[in-house]
Amino acid sequence: MSRLLIRHARVVDPAQRLDVGRDILVVDGVIAKLAERIDDPAAEVIDAAGLIAAPGFIDAHVHLREPGFEYKETVASGAAAAVAGGFTAVCCMANTVPVNDNAAVTEFIRGRAAAAGLARVYPIGAVSKGLGGDSLAEMGEMFRAGAVAFSDDGKPVSNSQLMRKALEYAQIFPAPVIDHCEDANLAGQGVMHEGAVATRLGLRGIPAAAEEVAVVRDIILAQLTGGHVHIAHLSTAGALDRVREGKGAGIRVTCEVTPHHLALTDELVAVTEYDTNTKMNPPLRDAAHVEALIHGVLDGTVDCLATDHAPHHADEKALEFDVAPFGIVGLESAIPVTYNLLVVKHKMPLTRFVALWSANPARVFHLPGGTLKPGSPADITLIDPEARLAVNPERFQSLSRNTPFAGQRLKGWPAATIVAGRVVWRRER
Amino acid sequence: MSVIAAPRLRGKDLVGIDPLSPGEIQLILDTAEHMKAIAARPIKKVPALRGKTVVNFFMEASTRTRFSFEVAEKRLSADTLNFSASGTSVSKGETLLDTALNLEAMQPDFLVIRHACPGTPHQLARVLKSAVINAGDGAHEHPTQALLDALTIRERRGTLEGQVVTIIGDIQHSRVVRSNILLLSRMGARVRVCAPPSLMPIGIEALGCEAHRRVEDAIPGADVVMMLRIQFERQGRMNFPTGREFFDLFALTPDRLKLARKNALVMHPGPMNRGVEIDSRVADGPQSVILEQVTNGVAVRMAVLYLLAGGHGEPTAD
């Protein structure tokens, strides 16, 4: 019997409406007891005085690049980055090579994750075969092999009929269909947000409307089918308004927002003079969109935060802005970036902050965890709210370093990550 | 407002008009006037850049700008190397950083770069010791073009201050217009741009201009009418219907030119699409200064090279 005792923690568990000093006893990977004081001489003890103990943080949107692009990231390196970033679980997208569009690939990813033994890794299966956008992948087989949701992320599901059928079919399990909302023709060859900054820099723009047109279609199809659509990396004020209206009308639509879309604006492309680590899709938006997104997080329209962790090798980013690939890593900066913005700056209650990273993604994707109730898996994120550190890509566990946050000094960092009662990562003092 | 020339350029590079102060712009224009005198001499050459190496790195088709830089470099006695290709670092099979480091290894003093991707000169300037001169980066900037346009206007009008300059054509894809708006507005001119809304980028006014969608609103009162090339190679098929219709609605014709101030200057950065954005009667008419622009291009590029090499005042002969 393995026993772990976390003492003197500030337990923040939104599912139990808890924000109080508690000791936590974990037995055999399961939360056994929360109490003001627990003594257990047989247990390994972690002194968590000054630390927040939260249900394990879940990043519902990452790209782990294996199989196919192991030089960018592997399941093992991505899982290491996850736990070093304070995440006990991640959901990984299907745009690998081969595509995760069948049970064999789903099982392969799960096997790699089990071998790494760090974070829990939940594969997301492709909606369409080969991400081709014209016929359904074997969702049922993948679901049985452990897929938790379906998405062609990286690409939108452009064919409305296919999207309709996916939303219908996925109700068997049930599992959400996640869409990367982008009208490909409107987005065109754009490389950053369409607006005054793109005009000044001479870069081709991606209009907010390219996302909003697709979000509106998806909400209409969710209404038609009764299916659950989840909007990936929502980034515009208009898209947020449509989601708010859809929810108000009882349509099953949920959404996530990334830390970078909340913390950065398109002005960063100009300030950094075309640094390709400011290039991602959807692009960094202007201040009005960012303000609307923060408001959407504060008012509860946004269900969860997710990083869209998109590792790329330094050589791939050392190119002209137009041709460098879209995407940045996020796992190892997400918690401090969002803690600073939401808790420190916008005074969001801790229980709500924790919910955005744990209880909410667990609910949206039907995942175990998301709470510290006795009997739950002992997935715990410990956060040091007073830790002040600079984002240092040199120390990332991820194989890639493509972050626009390098050098930013932030407050509130993960201190330790516990998965199934095992301490899988601890910040070195 | 009268602008006093700065004593020198602050930066190591000329990546755009945006980083330049009015005083620096004035300095380049004043120096270019001295440089023009050199071209009038029987021996059109000074030793100012003797022993200096210039790499002309053109990753996008160009004849006029490349020749203009080369003439400027030769008149200043620099050694020149030319590299012309088209595409990106990827199409050459290496990273932009590798390209830059390989060029640097040849220890050039200047890198003159033309590239289809905006920001490439900025990315290179960050890592190279040599002075980087932007000879056009995508739809971003073309600083020496704006400088030669300004020199031409200043010569003909005596000043840039208060001049009303109307720029018409494909504003969306034009680097010439961005550099011109920044330069002219900084020097006290009033800039109007005019294009079909389908070729007008969002927020262009923030650069320092008025935006119009009808030529008849944009031209009246103009001291200068500058037409831009319709870049058919950069268009999809959706921005405007046909060249014929563009001519009908936007081209500079003798009738439309009459709406401008009497003796308004007609300019074009070239190459012209005759019969698309400009009527030949106007292009070849008495108000056209299009070929003077080309002549001034050499002088302006000499001035930029000379100043970035640390020169000041008038270059001396041997």
Q: What is the pLDDT of residues A49-68, one digit of tens each?
A: 999 999 999 999 999 999 99
Query: How many whole angstroms separate alpha carbon A398 and alpha carbon A103?
Result: 26
CA distance A96 to chain B (A): 22
Cβ neighbours of A197 in B, within 8 Å = 203
Whether residue A62 sits in one domain with residue A47: no
Whether residue A384 sits in one domain with residue A303: no
In a domain? residue B15: no
Nearest-by-CA chain B residue for A320: B120
Whether residue B161 sits in one domain with residue B78: no
**What number of other Cβ atoms are within 10 A of residue A142's Cβ?**
27
CATH, residue B237: 3.40.50.1370
Query: How many whole angstroms separate alpha carbon A109 and alpha carbon A93?
Result: 11
**pLDDT tier for residue A429 given thresholds of 50, 70 and 90:** low
Cβ neighbours of A203 in B, within 8 Å = 118-119, 138-140
Q: Give yes or no for A199 touching B (CB within 8 A).
A: yes
Chain segment B202-239, per-residue pLDDT in tens: 999 999 999 999 999 999 999 999 999 987 776 667 88
End-to-end CA distance of chain A: 29
Split into its structural domains, chain A has a count of 2
Q: What range defines the domain where residue B288 resides?
A: 143-293
Paired with A422 in beta bridges are A419
Q: What range defines the domain where residue A388 resides?
A: 3-52+377-426
Whether residue B126 sits in one domain with residue B233: no
**pLDDT tier for residue B39 given thresholds of 50, 70 and 90:** confident
Whether residue A141 sits in one domain with residue A46: no
In a domain? residue A144: yes
Query: How many whole angstroms separate alpha carbon B119 and alpha carbon A323?
Result: 12
- Is A308 catalytic? The answer is yes
**What number of other Cβ atoms are within 10 A of residue A17's Cβ?**
8
Residues A279, A324 contacting (CB under 8 angstroms): yes
In a domain? residue A388: yes
The answer to whether A274 contacts B118, with C-beta atoms less than 8 Å apart, is yes
To probe the interface with B, which of A192, A200, A266, A277 has the most B CB atoms within 10 Å? A200
Chain segment B237-272, per-residue pLDDT in tens: 788 888 889 999 999 999 999 999 999 999 999 999
Whether residue A236 sits in one domain with residue A136: yes
Query: How many whole angstroms separate alpha carbon B296 and alpha carbon B155?
Result: 10
In a domain? residue B313: no
Query: How many whole angstroms separate alpha carbon B33 and alpha carbon A110?
Result: 71
Whether residue B42 sits in one domain with residue B57: yes
Whether residue B163 sits in one domain with residue B260: yes
In a domain? residue A407: yes
In a domain? residue B1: no
Whether residue A140 sits in one domain with residue A97: yes
To probe the interface with A, which of B15, B17, B122, B180 has the most A CB atoms within 10 Å? B122
Whether residue A255 sits in one domain with residue A401: no
Whether residue B155 sits in one domain with residue B27: no
Q: Name residues whose C-beta falls within 8 Å of residue A39's C-beta, 6 or more positions apart in sequence.
A: none
Whether residue A122 sits in one domain with residue A85: yes
Whether residue B159 sits in one domain with residue B57: no
Angle subtended at Cα A268 by Cα A265 and Cα A271, rounded to the nearest 5 degrees: 145
**pLDDT tier for residue A45 given thresholds of 50, 70 and 90:** very high
Measured CB to CB, residues of chain B less than 8 Å from chain A are: 18, 88-90, 95-98, 115-120, 122-123, 126, 137-141, 175, 178, 201-204, 206-207, 236
**pLDDT tier for residue B1 given thresholds of 50, 70 and 90:** low
Residue B102, pLDDT score = 87
CA distance B168 to chain A (A): 17
Cβ neighbours of B96 in A, within 8 Å = 318-320
In a domain? residue A29: yes
Whether residue B30 sits in one domain with residue B168: no
Q: Name residues whose C-beta falls within 8 Å of residue B218's C-beta, 6 or more positions apart in sequence.
A: B166, B168, B192, B193, B194, B212
Residues A90, A367 contacting (CB under 8 angstroms): no
Beta strands in A342-379 (DSSP E): none
Helices B64-75/B143-157 angle, 10° precision = 80
The answer to whether A203 contacts B96, with C-beta atoms less than 8 Å apart, is no
Whether residue B289 sits in one domain with residue B149: yes
**pLDDT tier for residue A349 given thresholds of 50, 70 and 90:** very high
Residues A18, A55 contacting (CB under 8 angstroms): no
Q: Three-class SS of residue B305?
A: helix
**pLDDT tier for residue A5 given thresholds of 50, 70 and 90:** very high
pLDDT over 90 for what percent of chain A? 99
Residue A358, pLDDT score = 98
Closest listed residue to residue B141, CA positions, set B287, B280, B20: B20
In a domain? residue B228: yes
Q: Name residues whose C-beta falls within 8 Å of residue B103's C-beta, 6 or more positions apart in sequence.
A: B55, B57, B111, B128, B130
The answer to whether B96 contacts A319, with C-beta atoms less than 8 Å apart, is yes
Residue B318, pLDDT score = 53
Query: How many whole angstroms separate alpha carbon A257 and alpha carbon A294?
Result: 9
The answer to whether B206 contacts A200, with C-beta atoms less than 8 Å apart, is yes
Is a pLDDT exceeding 70 seen at residue B37?
Answer: yes
Residues B99, B73 contacting (CB under 8 angstroms): no
CA distance B5 to chain A (A): 26
pLDDT over 90 for what percent of chain B? 81
CA distance B124 to chain A (A): 10
β-strand pairing of B53-58 with B79-84: parallel
CATH, residue A388: 2.30.40.10
The answer to whether B96 contacts A205, with C-beta atoms less than 8 Å apart, is no
In a domain? residue A371: no
Whether residue B216 sits in one domain with residue B168: yes
Whether residue B44 sits in one domain with residue B161: no
Residue B61, pLDDT score = 85
The answer to whether A202 contacts B118, with C-beta atoms less than 8 Å apart, is yes
Whether residue B104 sits in one domain with residue B49: yes
Whether residue B179 sits in one domain with residue B244: yes
In a domain? residue A372: no
Q: Give yes or no for A323 touching B (CB within 8 A).
A: yes
Is a pLDDT exceeding 80 seen at residue B11?
Answer: yes
In a domain? residue A271: yes
Is a pLDDT exceeding 60 seen at residue B9?
Answer: yes
Q: What is the pTM of this model?
A: 0.95
Is a pLDDT exceeding 70 seen at residue B90?
Answer: no
Chain segment A373-401, per-residue pLDDT in tens: 999 999 999 999 999 999 999 999 999 99
Q: What is the pLDDT of chain B when averaged over all its residues?
A: 93
Whether residue A299 sits in one domain with residue A414: no
Q: Average pLDDT for residues A313-325, to the nearest whole number?
A: 95
**pLDDT tier for residue A339 given thresholds of 50, 70 and 90:** very high
The answer to whether B119 contacts A320, with C-beta atoms less than 8 Å apart, is yes
Query: How many whole angstroms separate alpha carbon A86 and alpha carbon A102?
Result: 30
Is a pLDDT exceeding 90 seen at residue B305?
Answer: yes
Residue B317, pLDDT score = 55
Chain segment B147-182, per-residue pLDDT in tens: 999 999 999 999 999 999 999 999 999 999 999 999
Cβ neighbours of A315 in B, within 8 Å = 95
Report the run of H or E that residue B86 belongs to, with start and end.
none
Catalytic residue among A183, A308, A379, A384: A308
Whether residue A356 sits in one domain with residue A383: no
Interface size A-B, in CB pairs within 8 Å, comes to 82
Lowest mean pLDDT among A128-142, A364-378, B83-97: B83-97
Which of A201, A315, A319 has its CB closest to that of B118? A201
Cβ neighbours of B202 in A, within 8 Å = 194-196, 198-199, 205
CATH, residue A171: 3.20.20.140
In a domain? residue B5: no
Split into its structural domains, chain B has a count of 2
Whether residue A138 sits in one domain with residue A152: yes
DSSP character at residue B317:
P
Chain segment A75-85, per-residue pLDDT in tens: 999 999 999 99
Whether residue A71 sits in one domain with residue A47: no
Residue matched to tokens 């410990």? A382
In a domain? residue A370: no
Q: Three-class SS of residue A215?
A: helix
In a domain? residue B315: no
Residues A280, A328 contacting (CB under 8 angstroms): yes
Nearest-by-CA chain B residue for A192: B118
**pLDDT tier for residue A278 given thresholds of 50, 70 and 90:** very high
Cβ neighbours of B89 in A, within 8 Å = 319-320, 323
Report the run of H or E that residue B250 belongs to, with start and end.
helix B243-250
The answer to whether B95 contacts A318, with C-beta atoms less than 8 Å apart, is yes
**pLDDT tier for residue A287 given thresholds of 50, 70 and 90:** very high
Residues B54, B82 contacting (CB under 8 angstroms): no
Whether residue A103 sits in one domain with residue A22: no
